[in-house]
Amino acid sequence: MDLLHCNKFYHPEIGGIEQVVRATAEGMARRGHANRVLVAVPRGRGASERVGGVPVTRTASLGVAKSVPLSPTYPPHLGRASRSADVVHHHLPNPLSVVSQLATPSTDAAVVATYHSDIVRQRGALRLYRPLLHRFLDALDHVFVTSPPLLERSAHLAPYREKASVVPLSIDLDDYGRRVPAVELPGRADRPTLLFVGRLNYYKGVEYLLDAMPALDADLLVAGSGERRRELEARADRLGVDDRVFFLGRVGEDRLHACYDRADVFVLPSVEPSEAFGIVQLEAMAYGTPVVNTDLPTGVPWVSRDGDTGVTVPPRDADALATAIDALLADAGRRRTYGQRARERVERRFGRERMLDTLEAAYRALVDEGSDAVAAAVDDARTST
């Protein structure tokens, strides 16, 4: 099949959706399908190149406004690329993709989208964007959603549930869980280690994790960078925990794996539904590490389940974070049990090949049988993998 994957950005730009698009495109290429990727650059001139063996077109952009690249050449590129594609696969939220697809002349290509999350922060712009989004969703052949809670709770998806299927995100199990020797990390060997991985932005809730630290006898590794780093470093200093909180910035692959290997508890303290899934939870769980997450109305508490693979607490509650983390640190047996179940859950539900099998079956059903066959193909692939 000829597959066209459409998103805002692509590797080496960092982001959970960018990671998913790359994994899908490279995975389908390994399976013998023709793959192309259409994205924009954050700012500047466009370019065409091959990344990991996949042709990538990056359209020119005037910059980014409200998280959307301003790329006037994206729609004509999409129109041309769609003419030879069997399937066009968009990833939302991405108003650029939505507007461009609506402006693209009709082709024989099937058009699908993975709905990763609702738009949460840009509520004013959403009032203008909502009618376009629903026109786009109306026209899609099928919608993939990353978790059951997102499908059940998103008001935008409610009219389209009959043509939607859950296809969870994934990680490469051959990569995560491996040991990385001889990588030095800060902190004391006689204290337990907590780990956070992610961008330091408005919805990650790292400030609440820092507020919990005075009550905990542990070190905290913060892997990731972002616009809030200096503010969070200053907060750690004011709380008197800067000698136990280590901001590592953007880390390379080996150092990231070393962080997961070292961690006793992984913490995802997100506070907004913009955190729709939390792939980093899967990465930690693959190392047999229990997770403390927050009870968001998204896939976050579905990925790591309270009382099974970790503990779920209310968002924006530093005391609840501290209590949950402290209880896990005090009970090595419970940590081991949760960690074993976490690894088993990833292996059972979130392996990379399982996701690729499911998407490939969906694409094939679209091309060979039409949109009405997709839901059954997804169900069959999910139960047979």
| Segment 320-361, tens digit of pLDDT | 999 999 999 999 999 999 999 999 999 999 999 999 999 999
Q: Is residue 140 part of a domain?
A: yes
Query: Residue 123 pLDDT > 70, yes or no?
Result: no
The reply to whether 179 falls in a domain is no
The CA–CA distances, whole Å, from 169 to 68, 276, 281, 301 equal 23, 11, 11, 14
Same domain, 221 and 138: no
Tell whether 188 is covered by a domain: no
Q: Are residues 14 and 42 in the same domain?
A: yes
If you average pLDDT over every residue of the chain, what do you get? 94
Contact 117, 93 (CB under 8 A): yes
What is the tens place of the pLDDT at every residue in 366-375?
999 999 999 9
Share of the chain above pLDDT 70, in %: 98
- 213 and 82 in a common domain: no
Whether the pLDDT of residue 308 is over 80: the answer is yes
Is 158 part of any domain? yes
Min mean pLDDT across 32-36, 38-42, 129-133, 177-181 is at 177-181
Strands 68-69 and 87-92: unpaired
Q: How many CA atoms lie within 13 A of 108 on its CB side?
A: 7
Question: Tell me, what's the pLDDT at 125?
Answer: 63
**CB burial readout 218-246, b (16+ within 10 A) else e:** bbbbbbbbbebbeebbebbeebebbebbb
pLDDT tens digits for 36-53? 999 999 999 999 999 999
Both 88 and 231 in one domain: the answer is no
Looking at the predicted structure, is the pLDDT value of residue 103 above 70? Answer: yes
The residue written with tokens 């006037």 in the block is: 72
- Look at residue 87 and tell me whether its pLDDT is greater than 70: yes
Res 118 pLDDT > 90: no
Q: Which of 54, 49, 61 is nearest to 34 (CA)?
A: 54
DSSP, res 72: T
pLDDT of residue 333: 98
* Residues 218, 157 share a domain: no
CB half-sphere exposure, 195, CA atoms < 13 A: 25
Reported confidence tier of residue 382, pLDDT bands at 50, 70, 90 = confident
Q: What average pLDDT does range 62-74 have in this prediction?
A: 93
CATH code of the domain containing 246: 3.40.50.2000
Two structure tokens written together for 321: 């974070």
Residue 116 — pLDDT band, cuts 50, 70, 90? very high
- Asked whether 217 and 187 are in contact (CB, 8 A), the reply is no
Residue ranges of alpha helices (H) inside the chain are: 16-30, 74-82, 95-103, 123-139, 148-153, 206-212, 229-239, 253-262, 279-286, 300-303, 318-329, 332-349, 352-368, 374-384
User: Once rounded to an integer, what is the mean pLDDT over residues 18-22?
Assistant: 95
Mean pLDDT of the region 256-263: 95
Domain range for 301: 193-349
What is the Cα–Cα distance from 39 to 10, expressed in whole angstroms?
A: 7
Question: Are 223 and 234 part of one and the same domain?
Answer: yes
Output 16-24 pairs: Cβ under 8 A, ≥24 positions apart: 16/116, 16/169, 16/277, 16/279, 17/91, 17/116, 19/279, 20/91, 20/114, 20/116, 20/169, 20/279, 21/91, 22/51, 22/52, 23/170, 23/172, 23/352, 23/355, 24/89, 24/355, 24/356, 24/359
Domain-embedded: residue 175: no
**What is the number of structural domains in the chain?**
2
Q: What is the mean pLDDT of residues 168-197?
A: 90
Say if residue 124's pLDDT is above 90: no
Residue 262 sits in the same domain as residue 118: no
- Report if residue 183 sits inside a domain: no
266 and 364 in a single domain? The answer is no
Q: Clarify whether residues 85 and 154 are in a common domain.
A: yes
> Which H or E run includes 246?
strand 245-249
255: confidence class by pLDDT, cuts 50, 70, 90: very high
Q: 145 and 218, same structural domain?
A: no
CA 359 to chain CA mean position, Å: 17
As given in the structure block, the two tokens for residue 249 are 């910035």
In a domain, 187, yes or no: no
**Lowest-confidence range among 30-34, 119-123, 182-186, 268-272?**
119-123
Instruction: Judge if 84 and 209 occupy the same domain.
Output: no
Provide the 8-state DSSP code for 27: H
Q: Are the beta carbons of 142 and 362 closer than 8 angstroms?
A: yes
| pLDDT band with cut points at 50, 70 and 90 for residue 385 | low
- In 3D space, the residue among 89, 91, 98 whose CA is nearest the CA of residue 136 turns out to be 98
Please check whether residue 178 lies inside any domain of the structure. no
231 and 163 in a single domain? The answer is: no
Q: What's at 196, amino acid-wise?
A: F
Question: 209 φ, ψ to 5°?
Answer: -70, -40
Q: Using CA atoms, how far apart are residues 11 and 350, in angstroms rounded to an integer?
A: 22
